[in-house]
A and B are shown apart, each in its own frame.
Chain A
Protein backbone atom coordinates (compact mmCIF):
# COMPACT_ATOMS: atom_id res chain seq x y z
CA UNK A 1 0.00 0.00 0.00
CA UNK A 2 0.87 3.66 0.15
CA UNK A 3 2.09 5.39 3.27
CA UNK A 4 4.40 8.14 4.47
CA UNK A 5 6.50 8.14 7.62
CA UNK A 6 7.88 11.41 8.96
CA UNK A 7 10.20 12.07 11.84
CA UNK A 8 8.26 13.05 14.91
CA UNK A 9 8.51 16.52 16.29
CA UNK A 10 8.41 18.96 17.65
CA UNK A 11 11.69 20.31 16.37
CA UNK A 12 13.15 23.45 17.91
CA UNK A 13 16.10 25.18 16.28
CA UNK A 14 17.95 28.42 16.67
CA UNK A 15 17.88 30.87 13.81
CA UNK A 16 20.43 30.08 11.08
CA UNK A 17 20.69 26.44 12.13
CA UNK A 18 20.60 23.60 9.61
CA UNK A 19 17.29 21.77 9.24
CA UNK A 20 16.59 18.18 8.25
CA UNK A 21 13.17 16.59 8.46
CA UNK A 22 13.23 12.94 7.48
CA UNK A 23 10.55 11.40 5.30
CA UNK A 24 10.34 7.87 3.97
CA UNK A 25 7.58 6.28 1.99
CA UNK A 26 6.13 3.05 0.72
CA UNK A 27 4.25 3.08 -2.52
CA UNK A 28 2.95 1.02 -5.36
CA UNK A 29 4.15 2.29 -8.67
CA UNK A 30 5.98 5.57 -9.11
CA UNK A 31 4.41 8.33 -7.08
CA UNK A 32 5.10 12.03 -7.05
CA UNK A 33 6.43 13.35 -3.75
CA UNK A 34 5.59 16.63 -2.05
CA UNK A 35 6.34 18.77 0.94
CA UNK A 36 3.53 20.98 2.19
CA UNK A 37 3.77 23.65 4.90
CA UNK A 38 0.99 24.73 7.23
CA UNK A 39 1.21 27.98 9.15
CA UNK A 40 -0.91 28.36 12.30
CA UNK A 41 -4.63 28.48 11.55
CA UNK A 42 -4.15 28.15 7.82
CA UNK A 43 -4.48 25.50 5.15
CA UNK A 44 -1.64 23.72 3.45
CA UNK A 45 0.65 25.36 0.95
CA UNK A 46 2.85 23.50 -1.46
CA UNK A 47 6.50 24.00 -0.56
CA UNK A 48 8.17 21.81 -3.18
CA UNK A 49 7.67 18.67 -5.19
CA UNK A 50 9.48 16.03 -7.23
CA UNK A 51 7.88 13.81 -9.79
CA UNK A 52 10.50 11.17 -10.52
CA UNK A 53 13.56 9.51 -9.06
CA UNK A 54 16.61 11.76 -8.55
CA UNK A 55 14.55 14.91 -9.06
CA UNK A 56 15.33 17.68 -6.61
CA UNK A 57 12.55 20.00 -5.54
CA UNK A 58 13.52 23.38 -4.16
CA UNK A 59 11.81 26.53 -2.96
CA UNK A 60 12.58 29.34 -0.49
CA UNK A 61 15.88 27.73 0.43
CA UNK A 62 14.31 24.34 1.14
CA UNK A 63 15.37 21.27 -0.83
CA UNK A 64 14.40 17.63 -1.06
CA UNK A 65 15.64 14.90 -3.40
CA UNK A 66 13.53 11.97 -4.56
CA UNK A 67 15.60 8.92 -3.59
CA UNK A 68 14.08 5.78 -4.97
CA UNK A 69 16.81 3.48 -3.64
CA UNK A 70 16.17 4.56 -0.07
CA UNK A 71 12.50 5.49 -0.61
CA UNK A 72 13.16 8.84 0.99
CA UNK A 73 12.38 12.51 0.43
CA UNK A 74 14.12 14.32 3.27
CA UNK A 75 13.56 18.06 3.62
CA UNK A 76 16.59 20.28 4.21
CA UNK A 77 17.38 23.92 4.66
CA UNK A 78 20.80 25.34 5.31
CA UNK A 79 19.80 28.28 7.49
CA UNK A 80 16.36 28.51 9.03
CA UNK A 81 14.57 31.70 9.94
CA UNK A 82 11.96 32.48 12.56
CA UNK A 83 9.43 32.81 9.76
CA UNK A 84 9.96 29.13 8.89
CA UNK A 85 8.16 28.12 12.07
CA UNK A 86 5.27 25.94 10.88
CA UNK A 87 4.16 22.35 10.49
CA UNK A 88 5.66 20.47 7.55
CA UNK A 89 3.92 17.56 5.86
CA UNK A 90 5.50 15.05 3.55
CA UNK A 91 3.08 13.54 1.04
CA UNK A 92 2.98 11.17 -1.88
CA UNK A 93 0.55 10.86 -4.71
CA UNK A 94 0.53 7.78 -6.92
CA UNK A 95 -2.47 9.04 -8.84
CA UNK A 96 -5.44 11.08 -7.87
CA UNK A 97 -5.22 10.75 -4.11
CA UNK A 98 -2.71 12.12 -1.60
CA UNK A 99 -1.20 10.32 1.37
CA UNK A 100 0.21 12.51 4.13
CA UNK A 101 2.69 11.96 6.89
CA UNK A 102 1.76 12.98 10.41
CA UNK A 103 3.48 16.34 10.13
CA UNK A 104 6.51 17.76 11.89
CA UNK A 105 6.20 20.94 13.90
CA UNK A 106 9.16 23.27 13.58
CA UNK A 107 9.83 26.20 15.89
CA UNK A 108 12.72 28.52 15.15
CA UNK A 109 13.85 30.74 17.99
CA UNK A 110 15.79 33.98 17.52
Chain B
Protein backbone atom coordinates (compact mmCIF):
# COMPACT_ATOMS: atom_id res chain seq x y z
CA UNK B 1 0.00 0.00 0.00
CA UNK B 2 0.84 3.66 -0.12
CA UNK B 3 3.33 5.04 2.40
CA UNK B 4 3.01 8.10 4.59
CA UNK B 5 6.16 9.15 6.38
CA UNK B 6 5.99 11.28 9.48
CA UNK B 7 9.01 12.95 11.06
CA UNK B 8 10.22 13.13 13.74
CA UNK B 9 8.92 10.07 15.51
CA UNK B 10 9.82 11.45 18.89
CA UNK B 11 10.68 14.95 20.08
CA UNK B 12 11.29 16.56 23.42
CA UNK B 13 11.20 20.33 23.61
CA UNK B 14 11.28 23.03 26.23
CA UNK B 15 8.15 24.90 27.21
CA UNK B 16 7.70 28.01 25.10
CA UNK B 17 9.49 26.72 22.02
CA UNK B 18 7.93 25.65 18.72
CA UNK B 19 8.04 22.22 17.13
CA UNK B 20 7.44 21.31 13.51
CA UNK B 21 6.16 17.89 12.45
CA UNK B 22 6.32 16.82 8.82
CA UNK B 23 4.00 14.44 7.02
CA UNK B 24 4.93 13.20 3.56
CA UNK B 25 3.14 10.94 1.13
CA UNK B 26 6.01 9.04 -0.44
CA UNK B 27 4.50 7.39 -3.49
CA UNK B 28 1.24 9.16 -4.13
CA UNK B 29 -0.23 12.62 -4.23
CA UNK B 30 -2.49 13.65 -1.41
CA UNK B 31 -4.69 16.65 -1.97
CA UNK B 32 -5.99 16.24 1.56
CA UNK B 33 -4.14 15.32 4.72
CA UNK B 34 -5.52 15.00 8.21
CA UNK B 35 -3.93 15.72 11.55
CA UNK B 36 -4.99 13.82 14.64
CA UNK B 37 -4.08 13.97 18.27
CA UNK B 38 -4.23 10.93 20.49
CA UNK B 39 -4.28 11.07 24.27
CA UNK B 40 -3.14 8.04 26.26
CA UNK B 41 -5.55 5.14 25.93
CA UNK B 42 -8.00 7.21 23.92
CA UNK B 43 -9.06 7.38 20.33
CA UNK B 44 -7.82 9.73 17.67
CA UNK B 45 -9.18 13.23 17.77
CA UNK B 46 -9.26 15.00 14.43
CA UNK B 47 -7.58 18.36 14.79
CA UNK B 48 -7.69 19.70 11.26
CA UNK B 49 -8.01 18.88 7.61
CA UNK B 50 -5.21 20.16 5.44
CA UNK B 51 -5.89 20.98 1.82
CA UNK B 52 -3.08 21.59 -0.60
CA UNK B 53 -2.80 25.22 -1.55
CA UNK B 54 -5.48 26.49 0.79
CA UNK B 55 -6.05 27.14 4.46
CA UNK B 56 -6.59 24.24 6.77
CA UNK B 57 -9.99 23.54 8.25
CA UNK B 58 -9.82 23.23 12.02
CA UNK B 59 -12.16 21.25 14.22
CA UNK B 60 -14.07 23.02 16.92
CA UNK B 61 -11.95 23.71 19.97
CA UNK B 62 -8.61 23.48 18.18
CA UNK B 63 -6.60 26.69 18.30
CA UNK B 64 -5.47 27.47 14.78
CA UNK B 65 -2.92 30.02 15.98
CA UNK B 66 -1.31 27.41 18.18
CA UNK B 67 -1.38 24.52 15.74
CA UNK B 68 -0.20 25.94 12.44
CA UNK B 69 -0.79 23.71 9.44
CA UNK B 70 0.78 24.21 6.06
CA UNK B 71 0.13 22.05 3.01
CA UNK B 72 2.48 23.55 0.49
CA UNK B 73 2.62 20.65 -1.96
CA UNK B 74 0.72 17.52 -2.89
CA UNK B 75 3.14 15.38 -0.90
CA UNK B 76 3.91 17.45 2.19
CA UNK B 77 1.94 18.84 5.09
CA UNK B 78 3.45 20.29 8.26
CA UNK B 79 2.06 20.85 11.72
CA UNK B 80 3.82 23.41 13.89
CA UNK B 81 3.01 23.49 17.58
CA UNK B 82 3.80 27.05 18.59
CA UNK B 83 4.82 28.12 22.08
CA UNK B 84 4.43 24.57 23.29
CA UNK B 85 3.35 23.83 26.85
CA UNK B 86 3.33 20.59 28.82
CA UNK B 87 -0.37 20.11 28.13
CA UNK B 88 0.48 19.89 24.43
CA UNK B 89 2.40 16.69 25.11
CA UNK B 90 0.67 14.02 23.11
CA UNK B 91 0.89 11.62 20.20
CA UNK B 92 0.24 13.36 16.89
CA UNK B 93 -0.63 11.36 13.79
CA UNK B 94 -1.14 12.46 10.21
CA UNK B 95 -2.99 10.62 7.50
CA UNK B 96 -3.61 11.04 3.81
CA UNK B 97 -5.99 9.61 1.28
CA UNK B 98 -4.74 8.71 -2.14
CA UNK B 99 -7.93 9.60 -3.97
CA UNK B 100 -11.05 11.42 -2.91
CA UNK B 101 -14.11 9.32 -2.32
CA UNK B 102 -15.40 6.93 0.27
CA UNK B 103 -13.97 3.76 -1.13
CA UNK B 104 -10.34 4.45 -0.41
CA UNK B 105 -8.53 3.86 2.81
CA UNK B 106 -6.51 6.41 4.71
CA UNK B 107 -2.81 5.84 5.13
CA UNK B 108 -1.30 6.87 8.40
CA UNK B 109 2.09 8.14 9.39
CA UNK B 110 4.01 6.48 12.18
CA UNK B 111 3.06 9.21 14.62
CA UNK B 112 5.09 11.74 16.59
CA UNK B 113 5.43 11.53 20.33
CA UNK B 114 5.79 15.11 21.58
CA UNK B 115 6.94 15.73 25.11
CA UNK B 116 7.10 19.30 26.37
CA UNK B 117 9.21 19.80 29.49
Residues of A within 8 A of B (CB): 30-32, 34, 36, 41-46, 49, 51, 89, 93-98, 100-103, 105
Contacts and interface: CB of A to CB of B under 8 A. Distances in A.
Contacts of A30: 102
A26 B44 CA distance: 18
A36 B6 CA distance: 18
Interface of B: 1, 6, 32, 34, 41-44, 46, 49, 93, 95, 97, 100-103, 105-111, 113
Given A43-B93, A97-B49, A89 B43 contact: yes
Looking at chain A's contact residues, is the secondary structure mostly helix, strand, loop, or mixed? loop
Contact of B42 (A41, A46, A103): A103
A42 B103 CA distance: 24
Nearest to A46: B105
